[in-house]
Amino acid sequence: MPRISDVLAAGVRSYSFEFFPAKTEKAEERLWESIRRLEPLHPTFVSVTYGAGGSSRERTVETTRRIAQETTLTPVAHLTAVGHSETELRHIIGQYADAGVRDILALRGDPPGDPMGEWRPHPEGLTHAEELVRLVRSCGDFGVGVAAFPERHPRSPDWDSEISHFHRKCEAGADYAVTQMFFDVEDYLRLRDRLYAQGCRVPVIAGIMPVTHVGQIERMAQLSNAVFPPRLAERLHAVEDDPAAVREIGVEYAARMCERLLEEDVPGLHFITLNNSTATLEIYQGLGLVGTRVAA
Ligand code: FAD
Tell me the DSSP string of 46-77: EEE---SSTHHHHHHHHHHHHHHHHSS--EEE
**pLDDT tens column, 197-229:** 999 999 999 999 999 999 888 787 777 777 889
pLDDT at 292: 55
DSSP symbol at 229: P
Decide: pTM greater than 0.85.
yes
Which residues have CB under 8 Å from 282's CB, separation 6+? 251, 255
Atom 43 of ligand 1 has which residue's CA nearest to it? 109
pLDDT at 81: 96
Measured CA angle at 190 (ends 186, 192), to 5 deg:
115
Task: Profile the chain (296 residues) by mean pLDDT over runs of 10 residues.
Answer: 88 96 96 97 96 84 97 97 97 97 96 85 97 98 97 94 97 98 96 96 96 86 80 93 94 96 97 94 87 48
- Cβ atoms of 69 and 33 within 8 Å: the answer is no
Taking the CA of residue 161 as reference, the ligand 1 atom at the shortest distance is 11
d(CA 102, CA 71): 15
pLDDT digits (tens, 9 = 90+) for 67-85: 999 999 999 999 999 999 9
Cα(285) to ligand 1 centroid in Å equals 32
Supply φ then ψ for residue 283, to 5 degrees. Answer: -65, -45
Residue 131 appears among annotated catalytic residues: no
Distance 147 CA to ligand 1 centre (A): 6
**CA dist 195 → 40, 75, 208 (Å):** 34, 27, 20
pLDDT for residue 114: 81
Cβ proximity of 98 and 77 under 8 Å: no
SS3 18: strand
The angle subtended at Cα 153 by Cα 142 and Cα 177, nearest 5°, is 25
